[in-house]
Chain A
Amino acid sequence: MAQGVCIIGECRHGTFRRVSFEVASEGRRLADALGEPLWAIVLGEGVAQAAPDLGNYGVEKVYLVDDPLLQEYRAETYVPVVAEIVQSLSPKIVLFSADVDGKDLSARVAARLGAGLATDCTELKIEGGALRAKRPMYAGKVFGWYGWAADVWPQLASCRPNTMDCLQPDTSQKAAVEKPNVAIPKGNLTSVVSVEEDTSGRVDLTEAQIIVSGGRGMKGPENFAMLEELAQLLGAAVGASRSAVDAGWRPHSDQVGQTGKVVTPALYIAVGISGAIQHLAGMGSSKFIVAVNKDPEAPIFKKADYGIVEDLFKFIPVFTEEVKKLKASC
């Protein structure tokens, strides 16, 4: 008999990624709706200390596999271990985070178990005792609701970072930790040759609460310094339109849009971006949108909550000064 909800917690350098707390919180809500327990599976090296903290977000028990072989994510070591623990726990629902590693892990585990997976979900609920999931398609031009074949367990979903509310952490609650006895294959098919950490301290686009994005209107790479300064003040990440990326002004990882990143910040400031359909697809579900464009007919204004029709080179420095004043006063 399948029972309970299980999340996969993701650790880097011994600490959980924020998205794991979001996934745990969502798992808690689903477990409550089912009236069943919430567990977590955590793999990594040097994670033992952090593991009980998932209890802060409602996880009752963590199944922890802490081993040097699991230092970094590799499918050949992670997939068999996760699949084996999932099979022995037999949960109704398994939740993953929809980041790079989580996407790989979830799809592989689903294929191995012959289970149904909905990826990158923005909303989950229990209906008739089974999982229902809402997820963006066509980069958010439309949303799809997914359902699972009744009574076929487990039902798998991955959660888009930054879309599910984190519970207020209750630091008095610690999760019990159990170390299941599973064999870790000594994978030798793939190896990580090198990892270049981005030490710039920049906020990742998909996790950013505020994004300042520049387009072709920025005229050149040097002018992005202006947006960097504004972003710094706001604790924001800097994004770009495909035109700015194609021109080589910004790295491709900054591209927002249908073939770039789909972002959902609380505030998106589009500077010198016309608002082509492919760009709108990537940022259209931001909570608030500000557009700065000298062309009053630019389609971006149809999406913007606040529109500024002006030359960006004139407006952004003055706006930046105003933000400085605000920051100084509070």
Chain B
Amino acid sequence: MDIVVLLKQVPDTETIIKVAEDGKSIDSTDIKWIINPYDEYAVEAALRVKDSQGATVTILSMGPQRAVESIRTALAMGADKGVLVDDPATEGSDAYGKAVVLAAALRTIPFDLIFCGHRAVDDDENQVGIMVAELLAIPHLALAVATELTDGKIRIVRPIEGARVTMESQLPALVTFGGAHAIWNPRYASLPGIMKAKKKPLDIKTLADIEVSAEQVGAAAARVMLTAMELPPPRQAGRIIEGDTAQKAQELVRALHEEAKVI
């Protein structure tokens, strides 16, 4: 069983977002980078398969050199090898361009399953993984909160609006992970794990290595582009409602009914 986990490095969720001078990117000074939390669930899910029935887990990432650190973290958690596609020509790619790169890289790595987070918590796009599945013409099972592998098939459970759906697919397939920390509770990188991770193979590839031409990706090929960023309007200073318990409750009900008109 070969599992490839698509991993994106994102700013720490604690980060206070500031718009950069150019008005269309975020100010990345002093940002701490982490593994996208949903991708971390995907790593954990892959390692659970490895623990229970054996699998080779490969981490695949696209990004600048600093992403190596996140790949090493996943290797320290227990993944077996890493691949990073780092090429300046990918700069400015839209989701489709990123999917083209990842799909091309996946054609050079054996896989039965591809796992990744359902979205990255920076762009919040929720489309790269799905597009990879489409480009590879394989099924995509969305938002798994549980997986089970039997008879060469994968079964997942996913919550959708108003229902819980159990789905099954043949392999190869791509599974995106959702849910919460409480479900996946990703394991920590142990100290021996960190020592071992340093010796695990990590390939750095360029577009030429995966046979993608520079014209296919990057800003020039992007069909949709981010043109401006804006911060949400600052909230009006709120009002602390004073009084005893009964007065506060009465005043809050009045304010919500008469001022805000929401109840």
A204 engages B121 (CB within 8 Å): no
Cβ–Cβ < 8 Å partners of B130 in chain A: 103-104, 107-108, 111
Known contacts A107-B127, A117-B127, A196-B163; A306 and B256 CB within 8 A of each other: yes
Binding site for A on B (CB under 8 A): 11, 13-17, 19, 24, 26, 37-38, 94-96, 99, 121-127, 130-131, 133-135, 138-143, 145, 155, 158-170, 173, 179-183, 222-232, 235-236, 238-241, 245-246, 248-250, 252-253, 255-257, 260, 262-263
* Neighbour of A142 across the interface among B99, B222, B231, CB < 8 A: B231
Min Cβ gap B166→A in Å is: 4
Query: Shortest beta-carbon distance, A324 to chain B, in Å?
Result: 10
Q: Which A residues from 213 to 242 make CB contacts under 8 A with B?
A: 234, 242
A186 an interface residue at 8 Å Cβ cutoff? no
Whether B248 contacts A310 by the Cβ 8 Å rule is: yes
Segment with Cβ contacts to B, from A39-47, A59-67, A164-172, A251-259: A251-259
- List the A side residues contacting B159 at CB < 8 Å: 253
Interface of B is mostly: mixed
A116: contacting residue among B222, B229, B232, B235, CB under 8 A = B222
Q: Does A303 contact B (CB under 8 A)?
A: yes
B155 touches A193 (CB 8 A): yes
Q: Is the CB of A315 within 8 A of B141?
A: no
CB distance from A68 to the nearest CB of B (A): 18
List the B side residues contacting A112 at CB < 8 Å.
Answer: 134
Beta-carbon contact of B26 and A245 below 8 Å: no
How distant is A113 from chain B, measured CB to nearest CB, in Å? 10
Most buried by B among A190, A277, A319: A190
Chain A residues contacting B135 (CB-CB under 8 Å) are 111
Supply 22 A–B pairs (Cβ within 8 Å), ascending by A: A75-B134, A100-B160, A100-B161, A107-B95, A107-B126, A107-B131, A108-B130, A111-B134, A138-B121, A139-B124, A141-B16, A142-B231, A143-B232, A144-B24, A193-B155, A194-B166, A195-B166, A198-B163, A210-B262, A304-B238, A305-B239, A326-B257
* Contact assessment for B13 and A277 in the assembled complex, using a CB-CB cutoff below 8 Å: yes
Q: Quick check: B239 and A306 within 8 Å, CB to CB?
A: yes
Q: How far is the CA of A145 from the CA of B163 in the complex (A)?
A: 33
Q: Are A142 and B19 in contact (CB under 8 A)?
A: yes
- In the complex, chain A residues whose CB is within 8 Å of the CB of B232: 140-143, 284-285
- Whether A242 touches B180, Cβ cut-off 8 Å, given contacts A101-B160, A108-B133, is yes
- Distance A315 CA – B248 CA, assembled complex (angstroms): 8
What's the nearest-Cβ distance from chain A to residue B45, in Å?
14
Q: A101-B160, A192-B165, A246-B180 are in contact. Are A147 and B126 (CB under 8 A)?
A: no
The stretch from A26-34, A49-57, A286-294 touching chain B is: A286-294
Q: Which residues of B contact A308 (CB under 8 A)?
A: 240-241, 248, 252
Q: Apart from A75-B134, A100-B160, A326-B257, what 9 extra A-B contacts exist at CB < 8 Å?
A: A111-B130, A117-B95, A148-B225, A196-B164, A242-B181, A252-B183, A278-B13, A287-B260, A307-B240
Q: Is the CB of B127 within 8 A of A119?
A: yes
Asked, given contacts A310-B248, A315-B249, A323-B263, whether A303 binds B230 with beta carbons under 8 Å apart, the answer is: no
**Complex: A266 Cα to B26 Cα, angstroms:** 29
Residue of A132, A144, A197 with highest tally of chain B CB at under 10 A? A144
A182 touches B (CB below 8 Å): no
Least Cβ distance of B259 to chain A in Å?
9
**Does A85 have its Cβ within 8 Å of any Cβ on chain B?**
no
Docked complex Cα distance between A303 and B206 (Å): 45
CB within 8 A of B123: which of A101, A137, A198, A326?
A: A137
- Please name all residues of chain A whose beta carbon is closer than 8 Å to the beta carbon of B229 when the two chains form the complex: 137, 142-145
A255 and B126: CB pair below 8 A?
A: no
In the docked arrangement, what's the CA distance between A315 and B167, Å? 44
In the complex, the chain B residue whose C-beta lies closest to that of A117 is: B127
By a CB distance below 8 angstroms, the chain B residues around A89 are none
How far apart sit A241 and B136, CA to CA, in the bound complex (Å)? Answer: 37
**A263: Cβ under 8 A from any B Cβ:** no
In the complex, which residues of chain A have a beta carbon less than 8 angstroms from the beta carbon of B228? Answer: 144-145
